Chain A
Amino acid sequence: MSDSSAGAALAAKHLPPAAGAGKPYDFSRKYWVFAVPATVIILAVIVFPWVFTVFMSVQDWKIGGGTEFVGLENFRTLAQDQRFRDSLWITLWFTVLAVVAPIVLGTFAALVFHREFPFRGILRTVFVMPMMATPVAVSLVWKMMFHPQLGVLNYLLSLVGIPPSAWVFSPDTVIPTLVMVEVWHWTPLVMLIVLGGLAGLPKEPYESAVIDGANEWHMFRFITLPLLWPYIMIALVIRTIDALKVFDIIFVISEGGPGTASETLNIFLYLQAFQFYKIGYASAVVVIFFFIIVMLSLLLLYVRQKSKWNA
Chain B
Amino acid sequence: MSDYHRTPLSRRALLKAGAGVSALGVLGAPAIVSRANAQSKFDWKRYAGEKIDVMMVKNPRADLLQQAEKEFFDLTGITVSSEQIPEQQQRQKAMIEFSSGRPTFDVTFLALHVQKRLSYKGKWTEDLRPYINNPEMTSPDFDLADFGAAGMNFATQADGAINTLPQFVDFWMLYYNKDIFQKKGVEYPKSMDEIVTAAAKLNDPANGINGFVSRGLKNANIPVWTSWLLGQGLETIDPKTGKLNTDGAEAIWAAELYRKLNKDYAPPGTIGFNWNECQTSFMQGRAAMWLDGIGFATPLEDPTKSKIVGKVGYGITPPGPKAHHSAIFADGIGIAQASKKKGAAWYYIQWACNKANQLAMLKAGAGSPARMSPFSNPEGTKSAMFPKDYFECMSGSGKIGRPGLPQIIPVTEFRDIFGVALTNTLSGADVASELKKATEAFKPVLEKSEQG
Q: Which of B99, B271, B274 contacts A171, CB < 8 Å? A: B271
- Cβ of B280 and Cβ of A150 under 8 Å apart? yes
- Cβ of A257 and Cβ of B423 under 8 Å apart? yes
Residues of chain A with a CB closer than 8 A to B96's CB: 63
Residues of chain A with a CB closer than 8 A to B286's CB: 149-150
Measured CA separation A168–B268 after assembly (Å): 11
- Cβ of A164 and Cβ of B268 under 8 Å apart? yes
CB distance from A61 to the nearest CB of B (A): 11
Which of A169-205 touch B at CB < 8 Å?
Answer: 169-171, 174
Chain A contacts to B: CB under 8 angstroms: 62-66, 147-150, 164, 166-171, 174, 254-260, 271, 274-277
Number of interface residues of B (CB under 8 A): 37
- Beyond A64-B122, A147-B277, A149-B286, whether A259 also contacts B269 by CB under 8 A is no
Measured CA separation A274–B93 after assembly (Å): 10
Main secondary structure of the interface of B (DSSP, over half): helix
Residues of chain B with a CB closer than 8 A to A274's CB: 92
- Cβ of A258 and Cβ of B284 under 8 Å apart? no
- Beyond A63-B95, A255-B217, whether A148 also contacts B268 by CB under 8 A is yes
9-residue interface stretch from B144-152, B342-350, B400-408, B412-420? B412-420
CB distance from A74 to the nearest CB of B (A): 14
Residues of chain B with a CB closer than 8 A to A164's CB: 268
Residues of chain B with a CB closer than 8 A to A62's CB: 452
CB distance from B94 to the nearest CB of A (A): 10
CB distance from B99 to the nearest CB of A (A): 5
- Beyond A169-B268, A258-B217, A259-B423, whether A63 also contacts B413 by CB under 8 A is no
- Cβ of A149 and Cβ of B208 under 8 Å apart? yes
CB distance from A266 to the nearest CB of B (A): 16
Kindly report which residue of chain B lies nearest to residue A174, judged by CB atoms.
B272
Contact with A along B219-255 (1 / 0, CB 8 A): 1000000000000000000000000000000000000
Residues of chain B with a CB closer than 8 A to A254's CB: 272
Most buried by B among A147, A169, A259, A274: A259
Kindly report which residue of chain B lies nearest to residue A66, judged by CB atoms.
B452
Let me know if B118 is at the binding interface, CB within 8 A.
Answer: yes
Residues of chain A with a CB closer than 8 A to B92's CB: 274
Measured CA separation A62–B96 after assembly (Å): 11
Most buried by B among A148, A149, A170: A149
CB distance from B144 to the nearest CB of A (A): 30
- Cβ of B427 and Cβ of A149 under 8 Å apart? no
- Cβ of B424 and Cβ of A166 under 8 Å apart? no
Measured CA separation A66–B452 after assembly (Å): 8
Let me know if B267 is at the binding interface, CB within 8 A.
Answer: yes
Closest 3 pairs (CB-CB, A-B): A169-B269, A169-B272, A148-B269
CB distance from A237 to the nearest CB of B (A): 33
Measured CA separation A168–B216 after assembly (Å): 13
- Cβ of A169 and Cβ of B452 under 8 Å apart? no
- Cβ of B272 and Cβ of A260 under 8 Å apart? no
